[in-house]
Amino acid sequence: MEADKIWMNGSLVDWADATVHVLTHALHYGTSVFEGIRAYETDDGPAVFRLDQHLLRLERSAAQYYMPLPFSHEDLRAAVHQVISANGLHEAYIRPIALRGYGVMGLNPVEAPVDVAIAAWVWGAYLGEDGLKHGIKAKISSWRRIGNNTIPATAKAGGQYLNSILAKMETQHAGYQEAILLNELGMVTDGSGENIFVVKDGVLSTPPISASILEGITRNSIMEIARTEGYEVLERDLARAELYHADEVFVTGTAAEVCPVRSVDDHLIGEPGPVTQRLQHVFHEVVHGRDPRWAHWLDPVSAKAPAG
Ligand code: PPE
């Protein structure tokens, strides 16, 4: 997963030199906010999918933790483009991170400097090619999702991912590919790194923000695409057993894209159904710039990546 260059605090450095001190605040306390963004190949070169929305969420996440970002929205947008072109990437997973750096220890980070870095590399099918085609096996985690009044799930902060990591490790040890977390009320929230949708009698449902989910940009895109395709989409609390009895279940995320779920807790849902397949297809066309209805979601990287 290596590329040549990483953008760090305003300039490009070699991949191996993008390092921090061991007493970096974020390393001890999780005080970072980050994004996961994808760029896809289109006829006009690589284009970043919903870059503005991702940067806005990064800015919101930073604000949640009173972290002033030393770069403007436009600076960050240009930096994302720069990282893609400098590495000659045709498609990429892009990882911007803003973190409380080296300088103070203790739990009040406001005096610590804020470092910002943006890396990009090629990251294939997050849940496996087979998962994308035939669906993944998921399991409800015994770990509950962090609550709105413990760590707000709506901000994408480093520390909160300990919750996802516990869930992911538990389910993988048990032989499943992905964890689905319930909140403290027992309602469905997210996968360890994805939002979740169920399809029942042609209607899509996905948990609401108040359930303690990350407000996913892929989730938002799929809701909009599905409504345009004529499906009813509800944001409502989902009980665990609704997953077992659903006609179709799929998860969405920048890394995971649109990935079918073939079973939950060994209750078979089966091969990807027609709604999942349709949305997967439209999403694929959209991100590759082949669906003019959603062209405004693509931010073309101006400098064409060199061949190779
Ligand atoms: N929920 C969680 C908990 C989550 O981490 C993600 C993204 C989503 C939902 C979907 O959000 P969005 O990407 O905006 O559609 N997870 C990121 C990190 C994955 C990782 O392993 O790192 C991602 O997909 O980039």
Tell me the two tokens of residue 197.
């949708």
For position 1, what pLDDT does the model report? 80
Report how far residue 112's alpha carbon sits from residue 67's, in angstroms, rounded to the nearest whole number: 10
Domain locations in the chain? 5-123, 129-292
Residue 228: what pLDDT?
98
C-alpha to C-alpha distance for 63 and 51, rounded to whole angstroms: 18
Cβ neighbours of residue 281 under 8 Å, at least 6 residues apart?
A: none
Question: Which one is catalytic: 137, 156, 168, 200?
Answer: 156
Task: Report residue 11 as tokens.
Answer: 């300039």
Query: What is the predicted pLDDT for the residue at 275?
Result: 98
Atom of ligand 1 lying closest to residue 220 CA: 15
User: Taking a C-beta distance cutoff of 8 angstroms, is the pair 304, 239 a contact?
Assistant: no
Kindly state if the Cβ of 190 falls inside 6 Å of ligand 1.
yes
Domains 5-123 and 129-292 share a fold: no
Cα distances from 223 to residues 3, 199, 209, 228, in angstroms, run 33, 12, 14, 9
* pLDDT for the residue numbered 303: 52
Among 123, 126, 116, 72, residue whose Cα is nearest residue 96: 116
Q: Which of 305, 208, 302, 287 is nearest to 38 (CA)?
A: 287
To the query of whether residue 304 is one of the catalytic residues in this protein, the response is no
Q: 266 CA distance to ligand 1 centroid (A)? A: 24
In short, whether 36's Cβ falls inside 6 Å of ligand 1 is yes
| Contact present, 141 and 180 (Cβ < 8 Å) | yes
CB of residue 193 inside a 6 A radius of ligand 1: yes
Distance CA 262, CA 266 (A): 9
Residue range 129-292, CATH number: 3.20.10.10
State the pLDDT at residue 308.
Answer: 41
Does domain 5-123 bear CATH number 3.30.470.10?
yes
pLDDT along the chain (308 residues), means of 10: 95 98 98 98 97 98 98 98 97 98 96 98 95 97 96 96 98 98 98 98 98 98 98 98 98 98 98 98 98 97 58
Classify 92 as helix, strand or coil: strand
Selection from 95, 121, 92, 115 nearest residue 11 by Cα: 115
For residue 178, report the phi and psi dihedrals to the nearest 5 degrees: -145, 150
